[in-house]
Amino acid sequence: MSEICPAAVIILAAGEGRRMKSGTPKVLHTLCGRSMLGHVLGAAASLRPGRLIVVVGQGRAEVTAHVAEQAPGACVVVQPRQEGTGNAVRTALEAVGQIHGVVVVTYGDTPLLRSQTLADLVAVHYAAGNAVTALTARVPDPTGYGRIVLDSRGVFSEIVEEADATPEQRAIDEINSGVYAFDGDLLADAVKRVATDNVKGEEYLTDVVAILHADGHRAGFVRAADPAEVEGVNDRVQLARARRLYNDRVLERWMLAGVTIVDPATTWIDADVTLERDVEIGPGSQLRGRTVIEAGALIGPGCLLADTTVAANAAVTHSVCVSARIGAGASVGPFADLGPGSEVPGSEGAQSA
């Protein structure tokens, strides 16, 4: 399918995140060198939307500052009271005005969601002429998720939150991710009609599906190939799981590109690290920030490198290097501690540190 750029992406990032038990807003907790919100902003920006909108609430000052740093062109909208996802989207549309075209809604606490999955959602939505297209997943244990409900004709008709579901509906294993593509004009009308007659007394964005279906509009869904992509992060246990899964992706990408990683289970590489072919990473190594490792270099075992450049064919073992530069063919360690601004000449000069 040809690329379709949505008119807008709305990122919901207003949640309190009480289960994180932290003074840091939930969406600013990090994995692989970026905040959760940073990962989501990157995936959203890859769609090249006409507008990028972030809805903030709890910790709004910190989150707003982070958005300004990561995505300077984004529009930040404040949701004064956290009264549900439908309320958040309605607040965004009331602040920025009606949006014509495809509107994607996603979340600031879903850092594993790939940009390609969002692009596929938009493409299917556009090609099918849907009023709404939901991103779903099939999972062995759907506990805690809204369920995708089909009508008597087998047509997607509504999403039922678990707290409001019947026993039969709770048995459904097709779950709602909370990520959607909407027709912007229809969304603006439907979200105003969302009621609060549910267990939590909130405005559910999920109700927009039933409203549009009742109005005779077409609803569809796209199933994520990997259910892990749609997992939200609500506590530190889930954050650790997301961090491991994301790191595994990073390691796989580099190994397929020609990098040797001796022990993936003990190797951590941030998202913005750059590696060249025939680099070898030994066990127990961490590469952070914007570290660059050039071709043929040997890192580890037992290294921590942050924002450090290692030139071709150099070797670093059992060392900590922060904002350092290591020349081609140089040998560093064991047990070197290179601080910011440190430089180790290449093999034609002094070779060890």
Residue entry with tokens 């299917």: 124
What single string gives the DSSP state of each residue in 130-190?
-SEEEEEEE-S--TTS-EEEE-TTS-EEEEE-GGG--HHHHT--EEEEEEEEEEHHHHHHH
Please state the φ and ψ torsions of residue 209, each to the nearest 5 degrees.
-60, -50
Cα dist from 2 to 96, 123, 134, 182, 298, whole Å: 28, 8, 20, 18, 42
How would you classify the pairing of strands 343-344 and 304-306?
unpaired
| CA 279 to mean position of chain CA atoms | 28
The catalytic residue among 18, 19, 51, 325 is 19
Tokens linked to 247: 């790191």
Question: Which neighbouring-strand residues pair with 75?
Answer: 53
Tokens linked to 187: 């969304």
Under DSSP, is residue 229 helix (H, G, I), strand (E, B) or coil?
helix
Q: Is 19 a residue of the active site?
A: yes
152/172 Cα distance (integer angstroms): 15
Cα dist from 351 to 66, 293, 333, 346, whole Å: 41, 17, 10, 6
Under DSSP, is residue 74 helix (H, G, I), strand (E, B) or coil?
coil
Query: Annotated active-site positions, please?
Result: 19
